[in-house]
Structures are given as C-alpha cells and as structure tokens.
Amino acid sequence: MTAAGEEPTPSAGELMHALVERLYPLCRSITGDGVRTTLDIVGEYVPLEVHEVPTGTQVLDWTVPQEWNIRDAYIADSAGNRVVDFAASSLHVLGYSVPVSRTMPLSELREHLHTLPDHPTWVPYRTSYYTPEWGFCLAQETLDALPDGEYEVRVDSTLSDGHLTYAEHVVPGQVPDEVIVSCHVCHPSLANDNLAGIAVATFLARALAEETPYYTYRFIYAPGTIGAITWLARNAERIGRVKHGLVLACAGDSGRLTYKRSRRGDAEIDRVMSHVLAASERPHHVAEFTPYGYDERQYCSPGFDLGVGSLSRTPYAGYPEYHTSADNPDFVSPEAMEDTLAVCREAFSLLDRNRRYVNLSPYGEPQLGRRGLYDSLGGRSDAKQAQMAMLWVLSLADGERGLLDVAERSGLPFDSVAGAADALAAAGLIKA
C-alpha cells in the first residue's frame, strides 16, 4: 500500500525496462567509448571492476583488435538533406566502418547499402569487425525513394590502437567456488539482444547481494566472442574455480523461455535449469548444445569445457525482429524481463542448496520420533510429503547424490527435500 499522493514503487521489471531505454540510444561495438559509457551506467546499479586490454594483445588464438569510435555519419542528397543519419539511430552505420568522406552517384553507393527487402520499414544491424569496409544500413522504403544523382557520404570514425573493455562484478559467497553469469555488451540499439540480458544480469546481481549465497557469483559484461575469449585468456588461474555458469541473452521478449544445455549436456546447471523450468510449469523449451550462438560456446570449448548453459526467451535469430530496428524498447516488456529474472533466482537458489549429504546413522532407519522430527510435522498440511522427504534423504544420503538427485528420484518438490535435509542435519542425522 502507498500513502495518498505517493507514487507506487516501480517493480523490478519496470526498473529493468527503464535501464534498457536508457542504454538503447548508445552506439556499442566490440570496442570503444559506447561500451565504456554502457558500463558507466551499469556501474550506477552495481559496482564494476573495469578492465582495459590493449590492442595487439594475444588472447588464445585471437588478437585484441583496434578500437573503433564514431562521432557522426550520414548520407546527404544534393540539397544537403541527410537522407540517412547516424544521429537518428546507431544502426544506420555498418559497425566498424572505416572513415570515408566522398561524393558518389547512387549507383556506386548502392554497393555499400544494406536493407531488408522483406521488412521494408526496418533497418538491419550489420557489422564488419575484421575487414576494413564502410557502409550504411537503412530501410528498404528509404532506399526506394532515393532518386538517381550524386550523394555526399561521410563516416567520421576512427580505427586505431586502443583497448578492448570489459567489466566484472563479484557477489562474494560462502565458498570460493564460482558461478559465472555472462552477457554481451557489443550490440548497438537492440533492446532484446542484448540490453535485456544486461538488465536481467544487473538486477540478478543486486538480488544476490542482498542474500548470503553459497557460491561466489561473478558477473561478466564483455563484448561477444572476443570479450569472452579475452576473459578466458586472462583468467586461466581462475578457471578451476568455475563450477557452473549461465549466459543471458534475448531475455525480454514475449516468447517462452529457452534453456540451451552446456556442451557436457549433463552439467549440474543443465539439470537445475531443466528441473526449475519443468517444476514451474512455465512454457519452456530445453535445447541441446550446438557450437553456434552466444558466448556459451567459448566457455564450453573443449579446452575449458565449463558447465555453462544459456538462458533466453526466443533464441537468437528465432524472431523476425532479431538484429533489426524493430528490436526496440517496445519489443521487450517489464513482465518478460521480470519472469526471466525470477527463473534465474529460482535456479541459483536451487543450485546453492543442492548439497550432498552423508547419513550418520546408516544402519537401519533411525528413530525419528524420539528426535522430535515427527512431532515437528504435526498439523502441517504437507506432513506426509515432509515425512517421505526425510526418508528419501536418509536413504540416498551416501555422499554421492545431491538433493536434486533425491528430488528427481522421489518425485518430491525440491523445497520439501531441502527442508527435510535441514531438519535432519539439525538433528545430527546427516552432515554435508
């Protein structure tokens, strides 16, 4: 309840959507000031450790590229009218376009123009990271309306030695073993891919910071592919601590939730996510691993083989608006982002509680009544379920099986199994 005249407190979904709207106009790429400004804004929500890696640095089989920045870009007609203007949308310029300042006929200019004929009012997102080119992206209807003639073409950009920028936020846990949560910060004005993922990751970090998680959670904000590769190259000594991980992307559209398994296929995060989604009865899909997609393919590469899956709503390239101007803040909703956040919180809560236990009274069934364990169930509507959970935990507490194994084999809710384990541990019948 709010007092008369007071504004209602915004929901987490509304706050995430506001963050998406704030970040949307920025021109991001795999390097440059757009990434830094994005991280500055995220840093207002959670403290970040920002890393700058110089151009030319060898990172695994890759090399950190030159840094790209852009101030202005446009195509102007003979009267000086800007018919395509970077100031109107960062999507209008081919990402990593080299500088150009020329006048040319439309026939020559067409070779550098990118459109979507099937969606004539949308502007596509295109890049040329590792090939020195320039170009513009525009709506097909804009191109169709251009008369033949001379056009002034200008891209006021720089491509020079600089840095690749990424950032980390750490939520300390009870143990140094880590869960990584990764999102990419390299796309320009695209709300679902990638800003919704950034927003969900940020608010997930804030939520975990209010708790005392078992694992240490490391949030990685990095450019796609080259950023994750750079993080892996610079954190070789930390890789052994990474026990689980999740890549967040396309986290705000109206589609059903989709979880993509790790390369292992049976990593604990795979089982946890599958269990949480099924138990929640949300519409969802669990997809098998493929070596194409987001940065899960870097974390899961054979040399590292980390247990990292990917959570999205509609997967990459699975919706018409993907990588177009139609992926704008209206395409994502507070409700969808809040739902994605809730699933992440449920999954990590389960992951944190999925301990293995050893039965300290393994010879025959211990007498629960004289320890007050049956009495504690009196009056509970779920007394029989709680009693069965205790018996199942005692039966499977062999030091090899975790509580998720118990829940899956018994068919009981994980919360009931975890509650039984807490009661049994307090009574001295099992230990972690």
Give the per-residue pLDDT at 375. Answer: 63
* Residue entry with tokens 């509580």: 403
Q: What is the pLDDT of residue 232?
A: 98
Model confidence, pTM? 0.95
What dotted CATH number matches 68-160?
3.50.30.90
What is the DSSP code (8-state) at residue 128?
A: -
- What is the bridge-based pairing of β-strands 82-85 and 62-63? unpaired
Place of tokens 């509609």: 314
SS3 category, 373? coil
**CB neighbours of residue 209 within 10 Å:** 16
pLDDT for residue 371: 84
| The pairing of beta strand 216-222 with beta strand 178-184 | parallel
Sheet holding 356-359, edge to edge: 398-402, 356-359, 430-431
Q: 3-class secondary structure for 271-327?
A: HHHHHHHHHHCCCEEEECCCCCCCCHHHHCCCCCCCCEEEEECCCCCCCCCCCECCC
Same fold, 12-64+163-352 and 68-160: no
CB 393 within 8 A of CB 423: no
Give the helix/strand (H/E) hosting 225. Answer: none
Taking the domains of the chain in order of start, what are their residue ranges?
Answer: 12-64+163-352, 68-160, 356-431
Longest dimension (CA), the chain: 94
Query: Whole-angstrom Cα distance, residue 18 to residue 187?
Result: 18
DSSP state of 124: B
Beta carbons of 46 and 206 less than 8 angstroms apart: yes
The pLDDT profile of the chain, 432 residues, written as one tens digit per residue, is 556 667 789 999 999 999 999 999 999 999 999 999 999 999 999 999 999 999 999 999 999 999 999 999 999 999 999 999 999 999 999 999 999 999 999 999 999 999 999 999 999 999 999 999 999 999 999 999 999 999 999 999 999 999 999 999 999 999 999 999 999 999 999 999 999 999 999 999 999 999 999 999 999 999 999 999 999 999 999 999 999 999 999 999 999 999 999 999 999 999 999 999 999 999 999 999 999 999 999 999 999 999 999 999 999 999 999 999 999 999 999 999 999 999 999 999 999 999 999 999 999 989 888 888 876 655 556 678 888 999 999 999 999 999 999 999 999 999 999 999 999 999 999 999
The DSSP symbol for 91 reads: G
Q: For residue 386, how far is the Cα from the chain centroid?
A: 36
User: In this predicted structure, what is the pLDDT of residue 373?
Assistant: 83
The pLDDT of residue 380 is: 58
Q: What is the pLDDT of residue 156?
A: 98
Which residues fall within 8 angstroms of residue 421, CB to CB, at 6 or more apart? Answer: 355, 357, 393, 397, 403, 430
Q: CATH for 356-431? A: 1.10.10.10
Query: DSSP of 231-287, one letter per residue?
Result: HHHHTGGGGGGEEEEEEE-S-SSSSPEEEE--SSSS-HHHHHHHHHHHHHT--EEEE
Indicate the class that CATH gives domain 12-64+163-352. Answer: alpha beta
